[in-house]
Amino acid sequence: MTEPLLIPCPHCNGLNRIPGERLGDSPKCGRCKSPVLLNTPFELKQGDYASQIKGDLPLLIDVWADWCGPCKSFAPIFEQAAKQLSGRCRLAKLDSEANQQLAGQLGIRSIPSLILFRNGREVARQSGAFPLQQLLEWLRSQGI
């Protein structure tokens, strides 16, 4: 038996308690019954932020904007990463135009920016788009 992991639901922000050995069984949210673990990035909004950075699975946020060319070319790489990291890291996209207050609060100066959270705290940050292998290596260096 492993310690249950606390994981926020990407759909309703409900905090789920999921045994480690069940992470591979497509666990459903106790509140809204949607899948808790996704293999695609989910959209993060201002109001979700405080709930979503919590929990035992790290959260990687890609801060982007519609007018940003490098952000657009990075999007498919981020999606690939979400597939490969399912169950180990949660990936979210933050539209910095639609959520300017939060982008300001996070001190975003250039995009794309990647911010890694663990248990509610920022643990690492990178600016600029980079290739999938480099992204995965960076996360590996953070213990993911």
- Among candidate residues 9, 29, 71, 89, the one labeled active-site is 71
Per CB under 5 A, the segment of 5-13, 45-53, 69-77, 121-129 that binds Zn ion is 5-13
CB of 77 to Zn ion, least distance (A): 27
Q: Which residues contact 51 (CB under 8 A, 6 or more apart)?
A: 8, 13, 15
Q: Which residue has the tokens 């990463």?
A: 81
Under the binding rule (CB under 5 A), the answer on residue 17 touching Zn ion is no
Q: Does 31 bind Zn ion (CB under 5 A)?
A: yes
Which one of residues 12, 65, 68, 124 is an interface residue with Zn ion (CB under 5 A)?
A: 12
Q: Is 68 a catalytic residue?
A: yes
Our finding on whether 9 is near Zn ion (CB under 5 A) is: yes
Rounded to 5 degrees, what are φ and ψ at 134?
A: -70, -40
The nearer residue to Zn ion, 14 or 70, going by C-beta atoms, is: 14
Part in contact with Zn ion (CB under 5 A); list of ranges 3-11, 38-46, 85-93, 131-139: 3-11
Question: Is the Cβ–Cβ distance between 36 and 28 less than 8 Å?
Answer: yes
CA 57, CA 79: separation in Å to the nearest integer?
18
Is 29 noted as a catalytic residue in this protein?
no
Using the minimum distance from each CB to Zn ion, give the nearer residue, 12 or 136: 12
| CA distances to 46, 116, 136 from 102, in Å | 6, 15, 26
Burial class (CB within 10 angstroms; exposed 0-12, middle 13-18, buried 19+) of 13: middle
Q: Is 68 in the site for Zn ion (CB under 5 A)?
A: no
Residues identified as active-site: 68, 71
